[in-house]
A and B are shown apart, each in its own frame.
Chain A
Amino acid sequence: MKRAGFTTVWLPIALLLPQLMIIAIFFYWPAAWAVQSSFYLQDPFGFGSTFVGVENYTDLMTNTEYGKVARFTLIYTALVTFFSLSIALLLAVKADKVIKGAKSYRTLLMWVYAIAPPVAGFLGLMFFDQRNGPMTEMFQTLGWDFRLGADYNSTATAMVIVAVWKQIPVNFIFFLSGLQSIPKSVREAALIDNRSASGRFWDVTFPLLAPTAFFLLIINITYALFDTFGIIDTLVRSEPGNNPVTLVYKVFVDGFRGNDLGGSSAQSVILMVLVLLLTVFQFRLIERRIHYT
């Protein structure tokens, strides 16, 4: 491989500077600030703060409310990730077989991707509206007294459905391009070697999609954990009450509604560590296992 080089050190530094500054101002600085304030107890009226050490953290560990939110976040993330990946994969496998109209099909699915999370949440509100939402009516026909915003399970279901719906297009596009990058002749060789279509899928197609699937797995976990904030905020109408919320939403509620900046910062730090672990895990595994060429 050919390596290009710079003759001076200043040019690369100058080129990197804007990017580094953005990262520093919008990430490292707030992150450092969060770490620092997680060791302090803020006065709710903004009159100074007291150093309390790790008390904010130990409080969280013993707080049953926090445990409940963490458990819900785990289930929510697992459900959103599972359904948005599996439905997208199913759609991609079907779309891969279609030759005519494949382009318009892809574009149509892609539109959903362009919708901002709060708008997706708002669309969700309409679908799950108490009086005339089609989804509410459907659940009611099925014998479920569906009440968005008032009943814990109803809200949780709506949150999962809207979040999944919003994420499917991204996964679909990645899966489809992954499928289309499998050499035609490899699939044909499998066609000669194995008469069962599902056997061919699990033995050949799916393993060759694994790098894509693994990348998407991490992306989807991150999405469910963090990027569904807008959807949740809209669906719970900014009134957490007895509605389910995720950890990220709780950071916001405790910090900005409850004015508990110290506790909220401690929660942020825990989430940062979680992301860090996910990232390390991703790179380790990608480098180790799922690389064929």
Chain B
Amino acid sequence: MAQVTLDRVRKTYPNGFEAVQPCSVKIPDGELVVLVGPSGCGKSTLLRMIAGLEDITDGALSIGTDVVNDKDPADRNIAMVFQNYALYPHMSVAKNMGYGLKNRGASKAEIDAKVQEAARILNLGDYLDRRPSQLSGGQRQRVAMGRAIVRDPELFLFDEPLSNLDAKLRNQMRIEIRALQQRLGVTSVYVTHDQVEAMTMADRIIVLNAGRVEQIGTPTEIYEYPASTFVAGFMGAPPMNLLTAQIFEGALKLNEDTVLPITAPAGMGHKVLVGLRPEDVRLGGDGSVLFNVEIVEELGANRLLHGKLGGQDFSLSVGKDEAARTGVQPITLPVARVHFFDPDRGTRI
């Protein structure tokens, strides 16, 4: 087990494309850190640099106390779970799991014991002699997990390990992986584009956007205090409402008719972005703010109301017991839970 430190780690591909801008992160021992961001933002590149599968252009990467920039992947004491599992098709499940240990000179008895133990934890006992092609997607996923834990690594790396599974299995494996990681206490870096996975699994989340770190924080911090409009829009479903407001004599005006009953932040020019989470807004009120509901989206546990507020797109979420209808109706804004962002740079104010 070890802490992982990235010190201004940067990646430029040979074609000159800068996939990861200088990135400094300290991952404490035993934590599960989720790298989240849209497709193509550089998550895999960053993870593969940690694994040693991709050269680090600049900066220093340490696992434990050693700088490992120049170490081969096999010498970094890591284990990786790939998106397509990357099992060896010609080896049995047991051989797949034991291959790494065998190459580090473990005895046959030791390998057997560890493979059996992993198979027990992952419910793979009946499949040890099968080839990967004879397993279902979920079982292959477990074998990939088994291959990782058998090695007893200092660091687990996961690259979208659940994205090839169906929704139900994905939810189940998400919980299992999290539980396993906590039990083993192995430092882990987990890559996903799914914000639900990020929120539910992470001790700490790193939000990446176009090769740049947008924010690092616990799931609560990220959700409650998004550092930018990008994070505000990416984390949380449905995403946060972002309304462009004119500041006029200390009041926030959406248009001629709609003035928000919210105090404008001090020291701003004449424009600001107002962020409101859909679940923080309530139906009903004194009629000072009117929401024109156009669509009601039924989600079972709750309903989403989509429409226009002061001419801008707006959504709010109500519980399943509340009546919901289309048409103009009063709403109440959460004065204590308003987020402000700089309209030009998108940063939090």
The answer to whether A208 and B90 touch (CB under 8 A), given A192-B80, A192-B100, A196-B103, is yes
User: Is B79 an interface position by the 8 A CB rule?
Assistant: yes
| Bound-state Cα–Cα, A208 to B87, Å | 12
Q: Which residue from A188, A190, A199, A292 sits with its C-beta under 8 Å from B89?
A: A292
Please provide the chain A residues from 150 to 192 with a CB less than 8 Å away from any CB of chain B in the complex.
183, 185-186, 188-192
Size bracket, chain B contacts:
20 to 34
User: Is A203 an interface position by the 8 A CB rule?
Assistant: yes
A191 & B82 in contact (Cβ 8 Å cutoff): no
Note all chain A residues with C-beta closer than 8 A to B184.
Answer: none
The proximity string for A residues 236-276 relative to B, scoring 1 for CB distances below 8 Å and 0 otherwise, is: 00000000000000000000000000000000000000000
User: Is A58 an interface position by the 8 A CB rule?
Assistant: no
| Bound-state Cα–Cα, A196 to B52, Å | 15
A186 & B86 in contact (Cβ 8 Å cutoff): yes
Size bracket, chain A contacts:
20 to 34
| Bound-state Cα–Cα, A148 to B80, Å | 59
A192 & B88 in contact (Cβ 8 Å cutoff): no
The answer to whether A186 and B88 touch (CB under 8 A), given A194-B103, A195-B74, A196-B103, is yes
The answer to whether A293 and B133 touch (CB under 8 A), given A192-B74, A193-B103, A195-B74, is yes
User: Is B233 an interface position by the 8 A CB rule?
Assistant: no
B72 & A189 in contact (Cβ 8 Å cutoff): no
Q: Which residue from B51, B84, B88 sits with its C-beta under 8 Å from A190?
A: B88
Q: Which residue from B52, B90, B100 sits with its C-beta under 8 Å from A194?
A: B100
A189 & B86 in contact (Cβ 8 Å cutoff): yes
Question: In angstroms, how far is the closest chain A Cβ from the Cβ of B5?
Answer: 20
A194 & B89 in contact (Cβ 8 Å cutoff): no
The answer to whether A292 and B133 touch (CB under 8 A), given A195-B72, A199-B103, is yes
B53 & A188 in contact (Cβ 8 Å cutoff): yes
Please provide the chain B residues from 88 to 147 with a CB less than 8 Å away from any CB of chain A in the complex.
88-90, 99-100, 103, 131, 133, 147
A203 & B99 in contact (Cβ 8 Å cutoff): yes
Note all chain B residues with C-beta closer than 8 A to A293.
Answer: 89, 133
| Bound-state Cα–Cα, A183 to B133, Å | 14
| Bound-state Cα–Cα, A207 to B100, Å | 17
Please provide the chain A residues from 195 to 249 with a CB less than 8 Å away from any CB of chain B in the complex.
195-196, 199, 203-204, 207-208, 210
B84 & A189 in contact (Cβ 8 Å cutoff): no
Question: In angstroms, how far is the closest chain A Cβ from the Cβ of B136?
Answer: 15
User: Is B75 an interface position by the 8 A CB rule?
Assistant: yes
| Bound-state Cα–Cα, A96 to B339, Å | 53
Main secondary structure of the interface of A (DSSP, over half): helix
Note all chain B residues with C-beta closer than 8 A to A195.
Answer: 72, 74-75, 103
CB-based nearest A residue for B53: A188
A193 & B86 in contact (Cβ 8 Å cutoff): no
User: Is B78 an interface position by the 8 A CB rule?
Assistant: yes
Give the most central of A186, A193, A293: most B CB within 10 Å: A193
| Bound-state Cα–Cα, A204 to B73, Å | 16
| Bound-state Cα–Cα, A111 to B75, Å | 43
A183 & B86 in contact (Cβ 8 Å cutoff): yes
Note all chain B residues with C-beta closer than 8 A to A210.
Answer: 90
The answer to whether A185 and B82 touch (CB under 8 A), given A208-B90, A292-B89, is yes
| Bound-state Cα–Cα, A188 to B82, Å | 9
A194 & B99 in contact (Cβ 8 Å cutoff): yes
Q: Which residue from A185, A192, A194, A208 sits with its C-beta under 8 Å from B78?
A: A192
A194 & B80 in contact (Cβ 8 Å cutoff): no
The answer to whether A192 and B73 touch (CB under 8 A), given A203-B99, A208-B90, is yes
Q: Which residue from A191, A199, A204 sits with its C-beta under 8 Å from B88?
A: A204
CB-based nearest B residue for A291: B133
Note all chain B residues with C-beta closer than 8 A to A194.
Answer: 74, 99-100, 103
| Bound-state Cα–Cα, A7 to B134, Å | 36
Note all chain A residues with C-beta closer than 8 A to B87.
Answer: 186, 189
The answer to whether A185 and B84 touch (CB under 8 A), given A192-B78, A293-B89, is yes
Q: Which residue from B73, B78, B90 sits with its C-beta under 8 Å from A207?
A: B90
CB-based nearest A residue for B76: A192
CB-based nearest A residue for B48: A188
B86 & A185 in contact (Cβ 8 Å cutoff): yes
Question: In angstroms, how far is the closest chain B Cβ from the Cβ of A208?
Answer: 6
Note all chain B residues with C-beta closer than 8 A to A203.
Answer: 99
Please provide the chain B residues from 39 to 71 with a CB less than 8 Å away from any CB of chain A in the complex.
51-53
B90 & A189 in contact (Cβ 8 Å cutoff): no
Note all chain B residues with C-beta closer than 8 A to A207.
Answer: 90
Note all chain A residues with C-beta closer than 8 A to B73.
Answer: 188, 191-192
A191 & B89 in contact (Cβ 8 Å cutoff): no
A292 & B90 in contact (Cβ 8 Å cutoff): yes
Question: In angstroms, how far is the closest chain B Cβ from the Cβ of A144?
Answer: 44
CB pairs A–B below 8 angstroms (28 shown): A185-B84, A185-B86, A186-B86, A186-B87, A186-B89, A188-B73, A189-B80, A189-B82, A189-B86, A189-B88, A189-B147, A190-B99, A191-B72, A192-B51, A192-B52, A192-B53, A193-B99, A194-B100, A194-B103, A195-B72, A195-B75, A199-B103, A207-B90, A208-B89, A210-B90, A292-B89, A292-B90, A293-B133
Kindly list 8 other residue pairs between chains A and B, CB separation below 8 angstroms, not including A191-B74, A195-B74, A195-B103. Answer: A185-B82, A188-B51, A191-B52, A192-B73, A192-B100, A292-B90, A292-B133, A293-B89
- 10 interchain residue pairs of minimum CB distance: A195-B74, A185-B86, A193-B100, A189-B86, A292-B89, A194-B103, A207-B90, A192-B73, A185-B82, A191-B73
